[in-house]
Amino acid sequence: MKIERCELFPEILIVEPDLFRDERGFFVETYRVERYTACGMGASFVQDNLSYSRERVLRGLHYQVGRAQGKLVWVAKGEIFDVVVDVRRSSPTFGKWFGMRLRGERATQIYIPVGFAHGFCVTSEEAIVCYKCTDYYSPAHERGIRWDDPDLGIEWPVSDPILSEKDARFPFLKDLGEEDLFP
């Protein structure tokens, strides 16, 4: 397993699990607590999620306050453009973003700690996205940022994404109150 730290956000880990291929396909161990703890992740996951989406679907940018979630994200099938945004008010990188492509055939994972908003856009015909969370989903604690916030300037690979009504109504980062952000 290979671990890299994101240059912009050293708290974010990019994990390349060992992938075993043969004529039948491949096998990958997607999580093993002692390996991930040894690499400094130290997260305790309580909930696993799976999302199926079709091309041009954009989900996010989501995060929770109060019941904050760290996430370990990977793609089981297809390809996505995955994005994280720093929503920690006191951080020198507040409002900055990082994006990368995740592909099912590579099994690359990204660990997103508490303090970051997360979203993704499907760039293949369809995608199955898996993620482990460090706290349970709580609608009362959910927050979000508009995907097309001009102050963020995220370079999404689509200009006309398919959005949920909720995601389309999220506010811009500058319009969020202190209670909607991390210290």
- The DSSP line for 100-140 is EEEETTTT-EEEE-TTEEEEEEE-SSEEEEEEEESS---GG
Q: Please report, as a single letter, which amino acid is at residue 35.
A: R
* Helix ranges (DSSP H) in the chain: 33-38, 165-169
Report whether 41 contacts 111 (CB < 8 A): yes
State yes or no: is 131 an active-site residue.
yes
Report whether 177 contacts 143 (CB < 8 A): no
**Active-site residue identified among 36, 62, 63, 111:** 62
**Active-site residue identified among 36, 63, 111, 131:** 131
Name the residue among 157, 111, 106, 123 with its Cα closest to residue 53: 123
Residues designated as active site = 62, 131
